[in-house]
Amino acid sequence: MDMTFHGVSSLRGQVEVPPDKSISHRAAILGALAEGETVARPFLRSGDCLSTLNCLRELGINWKLEDDALTIEGHGPEAFRQPHDVLDAGNSATTMRFLAGVLAGRSFESVITGDESLRTRPMGRIIEPLRRMGAEITGSEDGTKPPLRIKGGPLHGIEHLMEVDSAQVKSALMLAGLQADSETTIIGGRSSRDHTERMLLLMGAELSFGDDAITIKKSSLESREIAIPGDMSSASFLIAASVVIPGSRLLLKNVGLNPTRAGFLSVLNSMGALIIEANYQEMDNEPRGDLKVSGTQLSGIELEGWRVPAMIDEVPLLAVIGCMARGTTTVRGAGELRVKESDRIAAICTELRKMGARIDELPDGFSIQGPNKLRGTQVDSHGDHRIAMALAVAALCAEAETAISGWECVDISFPGFDQVLMSLQGM
């Protein structure tokens, strides 16, 4: 499906962005592992989160989703049952990696697969440490690609050094460590998002922290009511559109301000953006607040090192912002983007060039000379929701009409994104 956008003079209004996708996944899975009834609201009704819920139902977990409230009945890890069929994670690597950590400790065999895109994603980073903990896991092709066949059983704690900062790998190992008979220590990865650690502590898990290390002991989780803030990754597309279009004024309500997710705001501030935080509070171990955003002229930036993992999902969007900023914007150290839903480095560079951007692709990032005068044309989402939304932001800055193919992938994380953009143009 194609979606068309035109250049606009400004964006104005107030928005509540969709609930946080990362926290929604974790509330469902940790609620299933806990003892008692967990209620999480507002729960994100996106394709990825529904994949998690559907897999949990196949594993014998009872839940209901009414309006925006997920109620999940937890009876501890022992309540998980062998599925009658192959588990389908859809497009969600989070679902696959998290459930691999859970199923590694269950005394039955299961198979988990996904769509064509997910079946190309590398899973070796969870397979190797989960095998060392005692699980039997096999993959297809070179042994590291989905579908994954998992034969779980008694687990033993390990010490694992993270190769790259990955919240999904870290979380999979913590979920396995919850079930292991001795301590599991994960070294590295502390700069990746920490929603799992925060929710585990909220629900009573035994976690301790050292210098860039996390240690988890076998623990029972207690059910909770969890208030889910707005998703910073979803908000970032609206923030980006507002900062690069002069005259824009936008108020985003109740956005999650977790420091491991707020790297994008820090980078934009370094580029000269006008973003003000208001009504800051912490609820259920997660900080949140409102963001007031205004359009202004930005300057290019060099991004590398520890700042990259803190905004890895927003790096393709930064390419769009770099097109409109004065000077050079360079990103290095983002090679992980090549094994996401698409090769996000290649995808964003290819599509922005079609629109007239002066962008050079690097092995682990890109370099842009700005500002660019973008022109509307036909572009491709590459089946990747973040590429599609980043291109929509570029289209708002372009002359003439831009048509984005494969727009339906946006429903994975931000259903109705196009309607939100249109509503802000009329303010």
- Per-domain residue ranges for the chain? 3-18+230-425, 21-146+158-217
Please indicate if the annotation marks 166 as binding a ligand.
yes
Q: Are 233 and 313 in contact (CB under 8 A)?
A: yes
Q: Cα separation of 84 and 61, whole Å?
A: 13
Of residues 141 and 69, more confidence is placed in: 69
**Catalytic annotation on 313?**
yes
Please indicate if the annotation marks 364 as binding a ligand.
no
Please indicate if the annotation marks 168 as binding a ligand.
yes
Q: Helices 21-33 and 93-103 sit at what angle, rounded to 10 degrees?
A: 20
What are the start-end ranges of the H helices in 178-220? Answer: 195-202
Mean pLDDT, rounded, for 64-76: 96
Query: pTM (2 decimals)?
Result: 0.92
Rg (CA), the chain: 21
Please indicate if the annotation marks 217 as binding a ligand.
no
Task: Inform me whether the pLDDT recorded for 67 exceeds 70.
Answer: yes
In this prediction, residue 189 carries a pLDDT of 77
The token pair that represents 270 in the structure block: 């370094």
In the chain, % helix, strand, coil (3-state, to 5) comes to 35, 30, 35
Give the CATH number of domain 3-18+230-425.
3.65.10.10
SS3 14: strand
Q: Cα separation of 151 and 204, whole Å?
A: 28
Determine what percent of the chain is predicted with pLDDT higher than 90: 86
* 235 HSE (CA, 13 A, CB side): 31
Residues forming a β-bridge with 16: 253
Residues forming a β-bridge with 365: 362
Confidence class of residue 262 from pLDDT cuts 50, 70 and 90? confident
Please indicate if the annotation marks 151 as binding a ligand.
no
- What's the CA dihedral at 330, 332, 335, 341 to 10 degrees? -30
Q: Find, among 381, 320, 397, the residue nearest to 352 by Cα.
A: 320
Q: Beta strands 225-227 and 213-216: pairing type?
A: unpaired
DSSP class of 259 = T
Task: Inform me whether the pLDDT recorded for 292 exceeds 50.
Answer: yes
* Strand order across the beta sheet in which 365-370 lies: 302-303, 327-331, 365-370, 359-362
Q: Are 173 and 150 in contact (CB under 8 A)?
A: no
- Could you read off the pLDDT of 72-116 as tens digits, one per residue? 999 999 999 999 999 999 999 999 999 999 999 999 999 999 999
Q: Are 157 and 174 in contact (CB under 8 A)?
A: no
Measured CA angle at 230 (ends 318, 96), to 5 deg: 80
In this prediction, residue 426 carries a pLDDT of 55
- 356 Cα distance to chain centroid: 29
The class (CATH top level) of 21-146+158-217 is alpha beta
Confidence class of residue 179 from pLDDT cuts 50, 70 and 90? very high
Buried b (16+ CB within 10 A) or exposed e, 119-152: bebebebbbebbeebbbebebeeeebbbbbbbeb
Catalytic residue selected from 20, 194, 290, 313: 313
- Could you read off the pLDDT of 321-359 as tens digits, one per residue? 999 999 999 999 888 888 788 899 999 999 999 999 999
Q: Cα separation of 184 and 210, whole Å?
A: 13
Mean pLDDT, rounded, for 185-192: 86
In this prediction, residue 290 carries a pLDDT of 98
Mean pLDDT, rounded, for 212-240: 96
Q: Find, among 154, 146, 189, the residue nearest to 171 by Cα.
A: 189
Residues belonging to the chain: 427
- 95 Cα distance to chain centroid: 11
Q: Quick check: do 3-18+230-425 and 21-146+158-217 share a fold?
A: yes
Burial bucket for residue 10 (CB in 10 Å: 0-12, 13-18, 19+): middle
Q: Beta strands 12-16 and 249-256: pairing type?
A: parallel
Task: Inform me whether the pLDDT recorded for 308 exceeds 90.
Answer: no
